[in-house]
């Protein structure tokens, strides 16, 4: 079968392409944003990429078109699919119907940390010899690929609340029917499709309705929004986690930055995680992964051993270069809470060393200005925050610089590079945060700093 994927370079759709290829299908796809690491992964898998959306991309009449949720009516290739009467479906529906049948699905949902937690859980199962299938919204360094299909009974899956397609406005995760479900956290996001937080809670409740009574739901004890979702109705056992508190599964921080912590169950220590990751958010992610692994029969002590050799995901505080006195990081954070927790973890790790955050407000929610009131506060742990204001952004970022003295606005990538070259002699940690390519800043900045 020839499967053609619209939006193939998205992290989710790119993973689907890998799975379809492993099933033996011929796979092609088109996208208007073709950039690493996903483009590299697809090319390595022998998948044909077409840049731009055009009717001509469908000239070979694929047997099935999978349409990503970033595409809508009016797109030239979408219109061609409809006009030519080609069979089409959403990525989530294809995954549920073709891959997830008869699998024990372990799904990781939540506003933040899905990719990292899914990677942790997958690595634990892999470390224990369970050889899981997986689909992750990023490329975990322990595997080097974002998706894999095996004969294992277990499928570990990043369960996204974003809508499925222009013709299916349900959240993707409603299709997946997990037996083991992690709810990392719940905040308002995706302002382009959800009018308010209550609308997201409703979708999470729809997910709860699909989880078996013999399954398990894992969530932080003190997340009020998740607790409200569960109060709407829950037919599945729940387990709570906490950090330096009193939940059944608790982490006791031995280092303030989260790089070393003890795991307890009913106040009995199960082992110590000692790893390179930082931030309380990653401690919560680890706890959830340990509990989920326990649900499929892996002892906590073995899960902890696995996490001690866990490598993070590409673009999650990934150190991409050390040039003179500057360390450059690539990070995916694009929500005020994610920015704040990431910088908090780094601050606790590096102490008084200089931190410079460089941010591209690229997500739909950020572009709409939804988090204006909280964004400035998320940079409290940065000595300097440089925020990119592209010409097509719909709101004026200068109001942020009026709220905090450490925030500076730049209107071009060239301006950002010039400013960072001025800051480089002082040294420190430069954290570039974007869920896109950031106009090639990563490569250009390295070249500029090496020249100096």
Average pLDDT of the segment spanning 187-205: 84
334 CB-side CA count, 13 A: 21
Tell me if residue 330 falls in helix, strand or coil: strand
Please report the pLDDT score of residue 348 as a whole number: 87
Of residues 337 and 5, more confidently modeled: 5
Average pLDDT of the segment spanning 30-39: 79
Please report the pLDDT score of residue 133 as a whole number: 98
Of residues 6 and 422, more confidently modeled: 6
Decide if pLDDT at 436 tops 90: no
Least confident of 22-31, 59-68, 346-355, 397-406: 397-406
Please report the pLDDT score of residue 363 as a whole number: 59
Which pLDDT band, with edges at 50, 70 and 90, does 396 fall under?
confident
100-114 per-position pLDDT tens digit: 999 999 999 998 889
Q: pTM to 2 decimals?
A: 0.82
Please report the pLDDT score of residue 266 as a whole number: 96
The C-alpha atoms of residue 61 and residue 81 are separated, in whole angstroms, by: 9
Least confident of 235-244, 269-278, 391-400: 391-400
Please report the pLDDT score of residue 28 as a whole number: 95
90-140 per-position pLDDT tens digit: 999 999 999 999 999 999 999 888 999 999 999 999 999 999 999 998 888
Q: At a CB cut-off of 8 Å and minimum separation 6, what does 91 contact?
A: 5, 12, 13, 16, 66, 67, 68, 69, 164, 165, 172
CB atoms within 10 A of CB 232: 13
Which pLDDT band, with edges at 50, 70 and 90, does 331 fall under?
confident
Which of 140-149, 256-265, 335-344 has the highest average model confidence (pLDDT)?
Answer: 256-265
**Domains and their CATH numbers in the chain:** 2-90 (3.40.50.720), 100-307 (3.40.1190.10), 318-451 (3.90.190.20)
Tell me if residue 5 falls in helix, strand or coil: strand
First to last CA, the chain: 53
Tell me if residue 334 falls in helix, strand or coil: coil
Please report the pLDDT score of residue 34 as a whole number: 73
The strand order across the sheet containing 88-90 reads: 48-51, 26-31, 2-6, 64-67, 88-90
């Amino acid at each position: 079968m020839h499967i053609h994927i619209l939006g193939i370079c998205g992290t989710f759709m790119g993973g689907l392409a890998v799975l379809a290829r492993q099933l033996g299908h011929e796979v092609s796809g088109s996208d208007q944003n073709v950039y690493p690491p996903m483009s590299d992964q697809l090319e390595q898998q022998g998948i044909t990429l077409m840049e731009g959306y055009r009717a001509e991309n469908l000239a070979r009449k694929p047997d099935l078109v999978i349409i990503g949720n970033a595409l809508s009516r009016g797109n030239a290739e979408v219109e061609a699919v409809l006009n030519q009467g080609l069979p089409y479906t959403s990525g989530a529906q294809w995954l549920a119907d073709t891959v997830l049948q008869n699998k024990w699905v372990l799904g990781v949902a939540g506003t933040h940390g899905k990719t990292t937690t899914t990677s942790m859980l997958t690595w634990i199962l892999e470390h224990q010899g369970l050889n899981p299938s997986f689909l992750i919204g990023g490329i975990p360094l322990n595997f080097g690929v974002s998706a894999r299909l095996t004969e294992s009974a277990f499928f570990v899956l990043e369960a996204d609340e974003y809508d499925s397609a222009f013709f299916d406005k349900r959240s993707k995760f409603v299709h997946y029917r997990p037996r083991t479900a992690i709810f990392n956290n719940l905040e308002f996001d995706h302002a382009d499709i959800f009018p308010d937080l209550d609308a997201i809670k409703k979708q999470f409740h729809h997910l709860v309705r699909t989880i078996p009574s013999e399954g398990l739901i894992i969530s932080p004890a003190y997340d009020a929004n998740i607790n409200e979702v569960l109060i709407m109705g829950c037919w599945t056992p729940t387990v709570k986690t906490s950090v330096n508190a009193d939940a059944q599964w608790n982490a006791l921080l031995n280092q303030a930055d989260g790089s070393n912590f003890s795991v307890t169950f009913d106040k009995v220590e199960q082992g110590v995680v000692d790893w390179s990751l930082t931030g309380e958010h990653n401690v919560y992610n680890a706890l959830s992964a340990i509990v989920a692994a326990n649900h499929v029969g892996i002892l906590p002590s073995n899960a902890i051993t696995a996490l001690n050799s866990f490598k993070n995901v590409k673009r999650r505080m990934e150190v991409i270069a050390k040039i003179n006195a500057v360390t450059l990081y690539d990070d995916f954070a694009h929500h005020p809470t994610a920015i704040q927790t990431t910088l908090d973890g780094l601050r606790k790790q590096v102490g008084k060393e200089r931190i410079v955050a460089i941010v591209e407000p690229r997500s739909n929610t950020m572009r709409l200005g939804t988090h204006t009131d909280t964004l400035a506060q998320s940079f409290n742990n940065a000595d300097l925050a440089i925020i990119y204001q592209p010409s097509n952004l719909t709101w004026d970022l200068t109001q942020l610089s009026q709220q905090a003295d450490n925030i500076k606005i730049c209107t071009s990538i060239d301006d950002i590079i010039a400013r960072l070259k001025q800051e480089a002699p002082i040294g420190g940690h430069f954290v570039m945060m974007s869920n896109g390519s950031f106009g090639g800043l990563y490569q250009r900045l390295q070249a500029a700093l090496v020249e100096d």
